[in-house]
């Protein structure tokens, strides 16, 4: 079980929820389980480019991106890049 923390704009799209507990083996699987998954990925399944995703404080780009295994991870944080305005 991993806890996913989302920014306030995503929480507003999920009835105000800021956190979600998800069973998943990879980061991608966890993110796709969210009720706001359509706001994270484009229609080809690519993660929107102005999003950062951290697993226990580490950028998933450094660990295989969406295929990053969660194993014993505790928390995924979704953060909008400053380049997103």
Partner 1 sequence: MAVLALVGTTKGLFLLWGDDDRRRWQTEGPLLDGWGVYHAMLDPRDGTVFAATNHRVYGSTVQRSADTGTTWTRSKQLGLPEESGLTLDAVWHIEAGRPDEPQTLYLGAAPGVLLRSDDGGASWEVNRGILDHPTRERWFSGAGGMCCHSIQLDPRDRGRMYVGITAAGVFRSENAGQSWIPINNNVETEFLADPNAQVGQCPHKLLMHPARPDRLWQQNHFGVYLSDDHGDSWVRLDRNGLPSGFGFPIMLDPKDPDSAFVIPEKSPEYHYSSGGQLAVYRTRDSGETWELMSDGLPKQAWAAVLREASAYDAASLYFGTQSGSFFALTDGELWVEAVRHLPPILSVEVTPWSG
The number of residues that bind partner 1 (CB under 8 A) is: 19
Question: Mask: binding to partner 1, 6-35, rule CB under 8 A, as x and -?
Answer: ---xx-xx----------------------
Candidates 28, 39, 38; CA nearest to 63 is: 28
**Cβ-based nearer residue to partner 1, 33 or 81:** 81
Do 37 and 63 meet the contact criterion of CB atoms below 8 Å apart? no
**Cβ-based nearer residue to partner 1, 14 or 69:** 14
State residue 23 phi and psi, 5-degree precision. -95, 120
Task: Considering only residues 46 through 85, tell me which ones interact with partner 1, judged by CB under 8 A.
Answer: 48, 50-51, 80-81, 83-85
Sequence-distant (≥ 6) Cβ neighbours of residue 44 within 8 angstroms: none
Do 4 and 34 meet the contact criterion of CB atoms below 8 Å apart? yes
Stretch that binds partner 1, among 19-27, 41-49, 55-63, 69-77 (CB under 8 A): 41-49
């Amino acid at each position: 079980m991993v806890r996913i923390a989302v920014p306030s704009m995503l929480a507003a799209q999920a009835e105000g929820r800021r956190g979600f507990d998800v069973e998943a083996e990879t980061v991608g699987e966890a993110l796709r389980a969210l009720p706001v998954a359509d706001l994270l990925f484009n229609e080809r399944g690519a993660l929107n480019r102005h999003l950062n995703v951290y697993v226990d404080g580490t950028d998933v780009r450094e660990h295989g991106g969406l295929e990053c295994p969660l194993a014993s991870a505790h928390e995924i944080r979704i953060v909008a890049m400053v380049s997103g305005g």
